Amino acid sequence: MVTTEMTASAAAGTEAPDPRFFGWPGEEQDTRFYRKMFFIRRFEETVLALFEERLLAGTTHAYIGQEADAVGVLEHLRASDHVFSNHRCHGHYLARTGDAFGLLAEMMGKAAGVCRGRGGSQHICAAGFKANGILGGTLPAAAGIAMAEQLRGTDNLSVVFIGDGAMGEGVVYETLNLTALWSLPLFVIMENNSWAQSTPIRMNLAGGMVLRFQAFGLPVREITTTDVREVYRVAGEEITMGREQRVPRVLIINTYRLCPHSKNDDNRPEEEVRARWETEPLRVHGARLTPAVRATVEHEVEAALREVVTRARNLP
């Protein structure tokens, strides 16, 4: 799997992922899962700290608390598959490519960034990976790529991550209609963290979320978990069916965002957020590893990330 992931990184036009981020050849799966999730967590925490130092401009949308989704899903993909993301894209990009340096340099506005410093935090464009900050805006593009692969006769998948807030966008339903009508090989991952920026889902979503997909005849599966093993198992079953049958699939993952929507805009009840920290992905999965293994992984990731930050800081 590590070899496949490194090939995916090369295909995306990034540097080969540092094994301290992505895992050493032959590393046990549970250890690799923890390593990747810890890598995403510490990258996001580092980014928020760099904003406090005023080394980054604009805004950012961290993936803290949802790491199991990206790692569990993207572990199954081939280099030839396509991934589309949204404004909360760092976790998806890092789980797909391991390219911490390219992403951080991009956010710093440096020419060494994955988009030469022009895309910033939300607008990432690399081979096999696309993201932008337009709510629901990547779904039509993902469906278009799925259609292109269908016309080519390949078994490549187009995978798109959307959030619960995107369910208020008309283009989402237009795209779901065509996806079902033309049976496109599109895999939709709905990450439902229950809050559309600062609005709880109970105040902006009528009816059932599953029913909205089923209305188009799309096969949909729903799980409520922060366990990377469970996400990996279910996503693997759905991806296998989608690839073999060349049909669309929808997976709703009920998860939770532990950080503010962007940097400091958070009006959720403190007790709600505090309770969610008890079942966050690193805590759930980390309990499966020995303290010595966790310590080694965390030390390696921290050291590699410090090197990335130093290198990016020193860029012209």
DSSP SS3 for 246: coil
Instruction: Please give the pLDDT value at position 62.
Output: 83
Instruction: Please give the pLDDT value at position 8.
Output: 42
Q: Which amino acid is at 177?
A: N
The Cα angle at residue 47 between residues 46 and 51, in degrees rounded to 5: 115
Chunk the chain into consecutive blocks of 10 residues (it has 316) and report each block's average pLDDT, rounded to whole numbers.
40 71 96 98 94 82 92 97 94 96 94 91 91 93 98 97 91 97 97 81 84 96 97 97 94 88 77 87 97 98 97 92
Instruction: Please give the pLDDT value at position 14.
Output: 58
State the pairing for strand pair 125-126/129-131: antiparallel
CA distance 192 to 218: 18
The helix (H) or strand (E) run that includes residue 166 is none
Count of alpha carbons within 13 angstroms of residue 301, beta-carbon side: 28
What is the DSSP code string of 99-132? -HHHHHHHHTT-TTSTTTTSSTTT--EETTEEE-
DSSP SS3 for 190: strand
Domains annotated for the chain, with CATH where assigned, are 2-13+20-313 (3.40.50.970)
8 A C-beta contact, residue 45 and residue 64: yes
Instruction: Please give the pLDDT value at position 122.
Output: 87
Tell me phi and psi for residue 239, to 5 degrees: -65, -40
Instruction: Please give the pLDDT value at position 149.
Output: 97
How distant, in Å, are the alpha carbons of 8, 31, 59, 95, 127 from that of 79? 4, 22, 30, 13, 10
- Which tokens is 10 given? 């090369």
Instruction: Please give the pLDDT value at position 287.
Output: 97
Closest by Cα among 129, 123, 35, 124 to 77? 129
The helix (H) or strand (E) run that includes residue 90 is helix 90-97
CA distance 23 to 39: 10
DSSP SS3 for 220: strand
* Helix count and strand count (H, E) for the chain: 13, 9
CA distance 162 to 190: 5
Beta-strand ranges (E) seen in 151-309 are: 158-163, 186-192, 195-196, 199-200, 220-224, 249-254
Report pLDDT digits (tens) over 24-42: 999 999 999 999 999 999 9
Under DSSP, the state recorded for 133 is S
8 A C-beta contact, residue 70 and residue 77: no
- Which tokens is 272 given? 């709600």
Is the four-CA dihedral 238, 239, 240, 246 of positive or negative sign?
A: positive
8 A C-beta contact, residue 36 and residue 73: no
